[in-house]
């Protein structure tokens, strides 16, 4: 059950709970008091719904950004790995080392590598 379904269920439970109060079973409760309580609860539910919608929006944007960054990283890997490039001074000792060693020592593998 997702957050939206939980909110909808709780809204329904709240409305079901308020029904006996509305039908006169409230005893000494005054309808104005019931109205204030109901309005306050409904305002909090609406606020929660807005928060959930904003959270989903942020998560969607983050997922899109992650997908874009993964694409960029894959492009870097595809451009550099297996091309025979050498790095000079990789270990600060002046020796050259294949750039592929960087990918391999970092476990930067893609499907089909190794």
Q: How far apart are CA 95 and CA 5, in angstroms?
A: 61
What pTM did the predictor assign?
0.49
**CB contact at 8 A, 99 and 80:** yes
pLDDT in tens, 36-83: 777 777 788 888 888 877 888 888 899 999 999 989 988 988 899 889
Output the average pLDDT for the chain.
Answer: 77
The burial of 98, by beta-carbon neighbours within 10 Å (0-12 exposed, 13-18 middle, 19 or more buried), is given as middle
Is 99 within 8 Å of 86 (Cβ atoms)?
yes
Whole-angstrom Cα distance, residue 73 to residue 98? 19
Q: Which is more confident, 67 or 2?
A: 67
Please give the Cα distance from 79 to 75 (Å, whole number).
6
Domain boundaries, the chain: 3-65
């Amino acid at each position: 059950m997702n957050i939206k379904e939980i909110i909808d269920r709780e809204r329904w439970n709240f409305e079901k709970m308020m029904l006996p109060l509305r039908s006169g079973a409230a005893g000494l409760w005054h309808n104005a008091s019931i109205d204030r309580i109901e309005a306050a609860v409904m305002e909090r539910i609406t606020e929660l719904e807005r928060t959930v919608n904003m959270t989903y929006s942020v998560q969607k944007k983050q997922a899109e950004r992650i997908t874009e960054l993964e694409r960029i990283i894959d492009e870097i890997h595809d451009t550099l790995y297996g091309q025979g490039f050498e790095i000079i001074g990789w270990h600060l000792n002046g020796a050259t080392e294949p750039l592929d060693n960087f990918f391999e020592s970092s476990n930067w593998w893609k499907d089909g590598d190794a």
